[in-house]
Structure formats: C-alpha cells, structure tokens
C-alpha cells in the first residue's frame, strides 16, 4: 500500500513540476516573441525607466545589473538598500555587452531604440532573453509593468500599482470635471537646463501636461526638447511655467533677461528633483496629480495631494517617505 501511495505522490509531484515549468510566452514592445522557461530570477536593466519599473514590482533583490541613472539617484539607491548590482553602462555612455554576459542573466531589459535593437539581437544570438521596452506614454508604461510582471511572476503587485495609478487618475479627472475648456491654462514646459528648450507633442511631458489639465503651448513644435526663440515664446503668452528642477541656475538667469522678464511674474510649478515624474515611470501619474493640484488649487481644494501621493508610494514602493513631497517628521 505504501508503495502505491509513494507512486501516486511521485506522479503528482511530476505533474506539479511540469505545470511550474510551463514556458512563459511574451511579446515585447517591438513585437518580438520572448520565451522564458521560468520566471526570471537574474535581471539586468539597462536604463533608468526600466530600473524604476523593476523596483516598483519588488525586484530589487533580482537586479544583478543596472544601467542609466544609478549613482546619483537617492531614490534608486535607497530602494537598492545594501545591494550593489553591477553597473552595465547607460544609453548615453554605452552599455557593456561583456558585463551583461558575465552576469549570466535570465532576462535583460533593453530600450527600444537603434542601439537597443542591436544589443538585443546580439544577446539573443547568445541565448540570453531580452525584452525590448519603449515606454513613451502612460499606456506604454502600464504595458511595461504588465509585461515585466508576467516575466517575473509579480502580477499581484502589478495589479496593485495599476489600481493606485487609476485612483490618482480618477482624482485628477474628478477635479477637472467641471472646469470649462476655455479656463484650461496655457502652459509652457521648461527643460531643466534651458528656458528655450521645451516639450513637443511627440514627448511624454506633453502627455503629462494634458493629463493634468493644462494646454501645452508648444505642442506643435516638432522634435525632442525642441529649441524655440524669444519671439515665439512671447507670442504664445503662456499663463503657467512647468519646470524641471535642477541645481543649475541657468534658467533663472535666462528668465530675468529683459525680453522675457514678464515670465517671472507667472506661476511656476517645479517638478521635484529626482522624482522621475517627467518621464514614463511607475510614478508619473503622481506627477500629473501634482501639476493639476498646483495649477488649479480651487478645483482641488478638498484634495490632500501630499497624502494621496504618499499612499501611492507606500503601495508601489513600500515606503510613503519615498514620496518627494513627504514632510512628516518621521520622514525627515
């Protein structure tokens, strides 16, 4: 009888093993099919948004390699804790193929641009699974989290983040619901290092502005951080400046120059340094709420933006004190 029971147990265990070993089929954001034999345990992320998406899903202990803005980001460093993943480079300085290979990853997250395509092709030819991700919009960001969650078995956490982002979006939409289109502010987005570089309709920052209920005066200017001149800026007559914060004083110096000095009288919304709200990231909707609340204080007078955003960070990253707005004594 005991032998029969042992045989049944063995058969059941084999069945469970075969279920857990079911390959994971994924389609990345370049339309490539990627197959993993099991949820990825060793991950290399080659650029900043991919780092943030991974960290939001609780994958800090699985990031064996990291790229992009790492050394100078208090947020990323705090999420990493005492872990020290290898630095594999960045999009601007180049990514080290040799370093990635040496890390023996199960999965590499690559940015969807020309150099990224080449890197993915090379790694794939070596038998290393790569996901090309190209988050350019809020919808893209949602898809990235969903894709990465399937690759790592973290769908429950992904659903929690999606619910929080929807909650923040609903707060924005409710606040703006009775604001007539004619009363939406004309806003000009200021690049962190140059008053005359702004955000076009092709960029994520335009989506950030639209979601927060302000009209981007530069939406029709083509290009990435396109350059505009003084005359055009004055013709637009913006009612609000949205600025990327920076340690540099260049933009402040440009604003006091005689021709554009009237702009200094406009309300200015400064995105907190290191918040990553100005790029496709898991926390970008928090940035949209921040802009909306500051652009239209009367519409959101019942909303405690600091508390709402702190709740998001608690759910997504496990610590409300990671919010760039958090001012509670315990967070100081």
Q: What is the mean pLDDT of residues 112-141?
A: 91
What average pLDDT does the segment 83-88 reach? Answer: 87
Q: CATH 3.40.50.1980 region(s) of the chain?
A: 19-153, 166-331
Per-residue confidence (pLDDT) for residue 21, from 0 to 100 = 67
Helix axes 138-152, 284-295, angle to 10 degrees: 150
From the list 131, 127, 142, the residue with the least C-alpha distance to 25 is 131
Helices (H), 153-276: 155-176, 204-211, 230-236, 250-255
Domain 19-153 classified CATH 3.40.50.970?
A: no
The CA distance from 250 to 194, in Å, is: 7
Q: What kind of architecture, by CATH, is found in domain 166-331?
A: 3-Layer(aba) Sandwich (3.40)
**For residue 305, what are the contacts with CB-CB under 8 A and spacing of at least 6?**
289, 290, 293, 325
Burial class (CB in 10 A: 0-12, 13-18, 19+), 163: exposed
- Tell me the β-bridge partners of 189: 242
Band the pLDDT of 245: cuts 50, 70, 90: confident
Convert the pLDDT of each residue in 218-228 to its tens digit: 999 999 999 99
φ, ψ dihedrals at 320, nearest 5°: -65, -20
Specify the pTM: 0.89
pLDDT in tens, 8-55: 445 455 554 444 568 999 999 999 999 999 999 999 999 999 999 999
Q: What is the pLDDT of residue 1?
A: 45
């Amino acid at each position: 009888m005991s032998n029969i029971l042992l045989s049944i147990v063995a058969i059941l265990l084999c069945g469970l093993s075969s279920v857990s070993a079911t390959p994971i089929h994924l389609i990345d954001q370049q339309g490539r099919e990627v197959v993993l034999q099991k949820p990825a345990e060793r991950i290399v992320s080659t650029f900043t948004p991919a780092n943030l998406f991974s960290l939001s899903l609780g994958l800090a202990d699985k990031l064996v390699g990291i790229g992009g803005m790492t050394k100078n980001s208090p947020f990323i460093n705090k999420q990493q804790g005492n872990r020290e993943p290898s630095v594999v480079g960045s999009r601007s300085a180049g990514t080290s193929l040799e370093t990635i290979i040496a890390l023996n990853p199960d999965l590499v997250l690559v940015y969807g641009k020309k150099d990224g395509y080449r890197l993915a092709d090379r790694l794939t030819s070596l038998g290393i699974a790569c996901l090309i991700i190209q988050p350019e919009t809020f919808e893209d960001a949602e898809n990235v989290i969903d894709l990465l969650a399937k690759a790592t078995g973290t769908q429950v956490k992904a659903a929690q983040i999606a619910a929080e982002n929807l909650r923040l979006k609903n707060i924005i939409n409710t606040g703006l619901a009775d604001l007539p289109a004619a009363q939406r502010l004309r806003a000009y987005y200021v690049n962190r290092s140059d008053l005359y570089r702004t955000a076009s309709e092709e960029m994520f920052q335009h989506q950030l502005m639209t979601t927060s209920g302000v009209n981007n005066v530069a939406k029709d200017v083509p290009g990435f951080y396109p350059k505009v001149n003084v005359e055009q800026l004055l013709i637009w007559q913006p009612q609000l400046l949205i600025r990327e914060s920076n340690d540099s004083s260049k933009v402040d110096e440009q604003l006091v120059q005689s021709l554009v000095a009237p702009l200094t009288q406009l309300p200015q919304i400064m995105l907190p340094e290191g918040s990553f709200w100005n790029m496709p990231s898991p926390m970008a909707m928090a940035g949209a709420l921040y802009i909306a609340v500051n652009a239209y204080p009367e519409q959101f007078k019942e909303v405690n933006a600091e508390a709402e955003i702190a709740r998001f960070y608690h759910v997504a990253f496990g610590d409300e004190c990671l919010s760039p707005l958090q001012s509670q004594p315990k967070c100081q």
